Amino acid sequence: MTAPMYVPAFSMKQRVTLMANKYELIATNPDGTDGALLAFAQQKRMAFKEQVTFYTDDTKTQPVFSFKARSVVDLGSGYDVFDADGQPIGSFKKEFAKSLLRSSWQLANGEVHAYGTERNPTIAVVRRVWEFVPFIGEIPLPFIFHFDFTEDGSGKPVLSVERKMSVRDRYRITVQDERLDFRVAAAMTVALDALQSR
């Protein structure tokens, strides 16, 4: 069954400011060009309890969905995705033990239960070394990394997030599973950028 808010492909652009990371989620037209703005999100830096709210646009007057950490202390406990009325619609969680060498996540939305990991294990290791080298680790990562999510059990593709080389972060997202709600896919995509080092 197709999710009520299924979007097969979209992109995400990041705008970095002094106090926050800002994300634009944009529909992808059938010909591959950018379409309409689907949502705008802002993540405050150094937030005590991680929470990101998505709005219809950058005026931030109408919230449409959000995600929030379950625990203030243990971010490994996971994150819940909520609709505009505050009702839970999905969740995701970083698997810290598996992520020591290759970032790994769990994603849930209704009947969809998926596992995601970095596509290229070599780049995953190089990224970790890069972050630990003094001074070098402060320079933005020059490596392009991608994540692939597959359904637990069957291994069928669910979600792919591909980072593109550009001055500011840009991602192309493909949702292969029609049961996956756009809001959960979008929240997971923002988390891959905003929470990757947590």
Residue 75 or 31, more confident: 31
Q: What is the pLDDT of residue 95?
A: 86
73-103: b (≥16 Cβ within 10 Å) or e: eebeebbbbbbeeeeebbbbbbbeeebeebb
Nearest to 15 by CA among 166, 162, 192: 166
CA distances (Å), origin 71, targets 14, 58, 80, 191: 26, 28, 11, 16
Residue 136 or 44, more confident: 44
Which string of DSSP letters, residue by residue, matches 78-124? -EEEEETTS-EEEEEEE-TTGGGTS-EEEEEETTEEEEEEES-HHHH
Q: How confident is the model at residue 198 (pLDDT cuts 50, 70, 90)?
A: very low
**Residue range 138-182, pLDDT digits in tens:** 445 545 668 999 999 899 999 999 988 665 678 999 999 999 999
Q: What is the pLDDT of residue 137?
A: 41
Task: Give mean pLDDT, residues 56-80.
Answer: 87
CB 186 within 8 A of CB 120: no
Residue 153 or 189, more confident: 189
**What tokens were used for 37?**
């703005």
Residue 116 or 99, more confident: 116
Q: How confident is the model at residue 126 (pLDDT cuts 50, 70, 90)?
A: low
pLDDT above 50 for 89: yes
Helix (H, G, I), strand (E, B) or coil at 33: coil
Residue 75 or 78, more confident: 78
Q: What is the pLDDT of residue 106?
A: 95
**What tokens were used for 34?**
């950018």
**Least confident span in 5-14, 111-120, 182-191:** 111-120
Task: Give mean pLDDT, residues 115-121.
Answer: 78
Task: Give mean pLDDT, residues 74-94.
Answer: 90
Nearest to 3 by CA among 189, 148, 184: 184
pLDDT above 70 for 64: yes
**Least confident span in 18-27, 111-120, 128-137:** 128-137
